[in-house]
Structure 1
Amino acid sequence: MKLKYWFYAARIYTLPLSFSGITLSFIISKSRTNVDFTSYILCIITALLLQILANFSNDYGDSITGVDNFKRIGPRRTIQSGFISLSEMKKAICIFSVLSFFSGFLLLCNTILWKNIFIFFIYFMGIFICVCSSIKYSIGPYPYGYIIGMGDLFVMIFFGIFSVEGSYFLYTHTLCMDIFFLSLSIGFLSVGVLNLNNMRDLDNDYENGKHTMAVWLGIKYAKLYHTFIILISIFIGGYFIFLNQKAIDYYQWFFFIFISIFLILHIKKIIYIQEKKQFNSELKKLVILTFLYGFSIGIGFIN
């Protein structure tokens, strides 16, 4: 029976963010060069383990600091609800830290080892940083998720740049500026997911000293911030398609515009939301739209 609470703590509905950018970069890489499918699978596994680690750590950290309490509007956390103890969650964090690092190490051995020791070392340190960052978002004396703008910045780095550009380099051993633009596009949508979470919990976060962008901006300007990051993501995605339109079919524009319309409708819904608990449904919707958005861009590269 307790297994369901672990699935709940992993926040399954957020996990598509882990493989949205990785899958998109794999599809594009596959169209440009010969890519080992094993590398893609190891990328997915590593990313999923890291995100679950981050979600477990967030549950643990917010419980200790008191951010998780009866005033919280979002879904009840497992520790707060008494389903999982602090000691059990601490053990799970340790286990997933090891699993994440081991999976990342296997990924590097499969893609880089002996080909370029210097790059291998850089990525090796990158895995270590990813594991530490997954934990330090909410845990420790200075959790960066409690500092204005830092949560948004790290989401952009890990779910955008590292996910898309980082995995693209592992697949192809090359860096491309158009892929970097694409990584920003996916990153902004992922930041949007975090911003929805922070707008929903704005009042409780403010009372407990969690200084997110939403707390700093206030609900009115947090909605404008959300509008900006979604629109700029769409613009950058369109620019990427424009740069590659000679290599793809024009029907890709149809899929891209179709998903973009839903993103714009999402913005409209956010602007008119009055009850903060309504952000929950839009958060889940944006996670799915982010994955579909990536697929709408990648579909033109499938061959």
Structure 2
Amino acid sequence: MKIKYFIYASRVYTLPLSITGITSSYLLSSSSVIELYKNIDIYTFSILTSISLQILSNFSNDYGDSIKTFNNVNSYSPKKLVKCGKISLYNMKKSIYIFSILSFFFGIILIFKTVRENIFIFFLYTLGLLFCIYSSISYSIGKTPYGWKFGLGDLSVFIFFGLFSVLGNFFLLTHIFPTIDIFLLSFGIGFLSVSVLNVNNIRDLKDDIENGKITIPVKLGVKYSKFYHTIIVFIPIVICLLFLYIRNVNNTYQWIFSVLIIISLMYNIKNIIFIKRKNLLNLELKKLVLLTFLYGLNIGITNFL
């Protein structure tokens, strides 16, 4: 069993998405470096929980696709390592169990540290944690995996990477119901995370059709999937400007950085619309992951400028 295959199966390049919402809400929950330091343990366990869930989802995806006799007809799609024989079914299943336990372990410590005094909230967050673990696995595994059969991958990414990540973590840090600007941030990060999945699914369109996997691009086709991509990237651009307006941001450097991110996102829209060679979609996907992280970081530092 070679570690490098598990590192590949974890899809390390996607992991910044799992920490974007958490990092931005962590920064926005504090108004000073001292407050950041006080909450560093909560932030650490939030990161560990989120990364564990993301790796769990990626391992489950490889396992689920492989047992469904997933065949790669598009050479630009990531190979399924269980299907290729690089990782055995037994070892991948064992890894899924391990990361399920890790996700629960880190998550329950996080919940205990933050809301243990409130039994109702503690119970609610524990149910949410179990739901996240179940959803990470059932996206690709089971008789009716919702990422395969119902095309609900985009909705789940929006909920987990946007709403849960930003709003849920903000409440754990502050015990305050999120304000409208925090809701806007969760929508912006959520839609950008969905756009990453959409690029991935446009790239894998031939594979998914061949293997009977239902995604938004399978339903819409390439032309309308690119139009869909334009919308879900343009909305966060508007949200970024609206957030800066609501927060009355007048720092020149933050506005310059915001404009640079917006221009980069506009270029991504242009590239996705006009791209012809599918191998370039991998590059755009990785750029979009980085831009999503920078987008969240840029908004998150508002309190410190």
The alignment's TM-score, normalised by the length of structure 2, stands at: 0.94
Q: Which residue identity lines up with residue 300 of structure 2 in the other structure?
A: G
The percent of aligned pairs where both chains have the same amino acid is 53
Per-residue deviation at 1:199? 0.4
Work out the CA distance in 1 between the residues paired with 2:45 and 2:275. Answer: 40
Q: Which moved more, 1:253-262 or 1:164-173?
A: 253-262
8 Å Cα contact 1:164-1:183 kept in structure 2: yes
Per-residue deviation at 1:67? 2.6
Per-residue deviation at 1:76? 1.5
Match of 1:266 among 254, 263, 268: 268
Match of 1:75 among 73, 78, 89: 78
- CA deviations 1:74-103 (Å, max 9, x no partner) are 121221221101111000001100110111
Q: Match of 2:214, SS?
A: coil
Counterpart for residue 15 of structure 2: 15
Q: 1:70 to 1:225 in 2, by over 3 A?
A: closer
Q: Match of 1:30, SS?
A: coil
The alignment's TM-score, normalised by the length of structure 1, stands at: 0.95
Gaps of 5+ in 2: none
Per-residue deviation at 1:53? 0.2
Work out the CA distance in 1 between the residues paired with 2:248 and 2:124. Answer: 33
| Residue 291 of structure 2 corresponds to residue 297 of structure 1 | no
Counterpart for residue 88 of structure 1: 91
Work out the CA distance in 2 between the residues paired with 1:9 and 1:207. Answer: 22
| Residue 208 of structure 2 corresponds to residue 209 of structure 1 | no
Match of 1:40 among 39, 43, 47: 43
Gaps of 5+ in 1: none
Q: Which residue identity lines up with residue 230 of structure 1 in the other structure?
A: V
Q: Match of 2:31, SS?
A: helix
Matches within 5 A, 1:1-303: 2-31=2-31, 34=35, 36-71=39-74, 73-114=76-117, 116-175=118-177, 176-245=179-248, 249-302=251-304
Q: Which residue identity lines up with residue 69 of structure 1 in the other structure?
A: N
Q: 1:71 to 1:272 in 2, by over 3 A?
A: closer
- CA deviations 1:31-90 (Å, max 9, x no partner) are 289452110000000000000000000000011112343545312122122110111100
8 Å Cα contact 1:69-1:80 kept in structure 2: no
Per-residue deviation at 1:275? 2.4
- CA deviations 1:236-277 (Å, max 9, x no partner) are 12211111116x634322211111111111111111111223
Work out the CA distance in 1 between the residues paired with 2:296 and 2:255. Answer: 13
Q: 1:204 to 1:27 in 2, by over 3 A?
A: same
Work out the CA distance in 1 between the residues paired with 2:45 and 2:124. Answer: 18
8 Å Cα contact 2:29-2:170 kept in structure 1: yes
Q: Which residue identity lines up with residue 103 of structure 1 in the other structure?
A: F
Work out the CA distance in 1 between the residues paired with 2:280 and 2:150. Answer: 24
Q: 1:136 to 1:72 in 2, by over 3 A?
A: farther
The ranges of structure 1 where at least 4 consecutive aligned residues each deviate by more than 6 angstroms after the TM superposition are none
Q: Which moved more, 1:32-41 or 1:169-178?
A: 32-41
Q: Match of 2:30, SS?
A: helix
Per-residue deviation at 1:149? 4.1
- CA deviations 1:198-228 (Å, max 9, x no partner) are 0001112012111100100000000010011
Count of aligned pairs between the two proteins:
301
